[in-house]
Amino acid sequence: MSVGYSAVQWSRQKKVYDAVLWGGIVVYLGLFVGVGAATFPDVTIETLLIRGLGTAALLLLHIILCIGPLARLDRRALPLLYNRRHLGVSMFLLAAGHGLFSLVQFHALGDTNPLVSLLVSNTRLDAVSQLPFQPLGAAALGILFLMAATSHDFWLRQLSAPTWKALHMLVYVAYALLILHVALGTLQAETSPLLAGMLGLGVAAVVGLHGVAGLRERAADQPLAASPAADGFVDVCAVDDIPEKRARSVHLSGERVAVYRYDGKVSAVSGVCRHQNGPLAEGRVIDGCITCPWHGYQYRPETGASPPPFTETVPTFRVRVSAGRVWLHPVPLPPGTHVEPARAEEGA
């Protein structure tokens, strides 16, 4: 999001990305149905489509959940993070197709409303193997619908970043419901251990990557041990510790602060992007603006304000340089407050 931003967001890159994505989906479904029909000639095409759409959606969901921690661990995954919402909407469409075909095949041939039938057709709760698994899938689909419907930045602005983020964190609830949906449904009748093994590997990958990324983030969030000076400023790092046109992330006063070095100057802003709480300390200064690595939102380092016509702002911090060390006042200033940058070479 820079001064070159265009309201038409369907760039050539996104068109190519979506073409490759849906080309892969079509190939996957074609192979799934073709191989399934050849291997199990008695299975109907509707059943094969139900299974193909369901497995494709579940596979995409695992990929989506792995992108976030991968991007924290390796910057090469950032392009996937940039287009993750396209993956999410595509995954929802596959899951919706799976749910619609299932509803028609299993609940539309009686005299009861299909949605009512979905909820009341199985009332046996006396054994784990008999627990109703379809309502779990329906609940997960409802969550995925809310996320897909609010995926555009319009809803991000209307709901505010914290509310929007909290809503989209429900993807983990949907994921748990879908794992139960598969475990209580398909796996109950599956004689081959292949599907159970693949599902277990997928869960292990999601949990493992989040655990490793969480440990890394926890280490980065250790508060500074330095005691403040008489005027309240805290010694955070050496000037030479900050790469040119990049930042060093420090944990101060309970939050992350991005301390940037650029063009012989040093400035500090909140390390959390206003767009989707992206890590500003992992961005770069491009065209004089701090650029978030997640989606390209930009802020002036001396004011924490986005360049016109955009209005996003982040808090700024007072900073000084003495004897080659960067000192930061831990109290944030109101978002958009101008702070004169410190000279990076001062006292060096």
pLDDT tens sequence across 143-176: 999 999 998 878 877 887 778 888 999 999 999 9
pLDDT averaged over every residue in the chain: 86
DSSP, residue by residue, 27-56: HHHHHHHHHHHHH-TTS-HHHHHHHHHHHH
pLDDT band at 127 (very low <50, low <70, confident <90, very high): low
What is d(CA 187, CA 204) in angstroms, rounded to the nearest whole number? 17
What integer is the mean pLDDT of 47-74? 93
Average pLDDT in the 99-124 region? 80
Alpha-carbon separation of residue 192 from 128, 188, 196, 198, 203 (angstroms):
20, 11, 8, 11, 18
Which has the closest alpha carbon to 60: 14, 98, 34? 98
Instruction: State residue 285's pLDDT score.
Output: 94
One DSSP character per residue, 101-115 reads HHHHHHHSSSSS-HH
Residues 6+ apart with CB under 8 A from 224: 234, 236, 250, 251, 252
Name which of 206-210, 217-221, 263-267 the model is least confident about.
Answer: 217-221
Give the number of other CB atoms < 10 A from CB of residue 114: 16
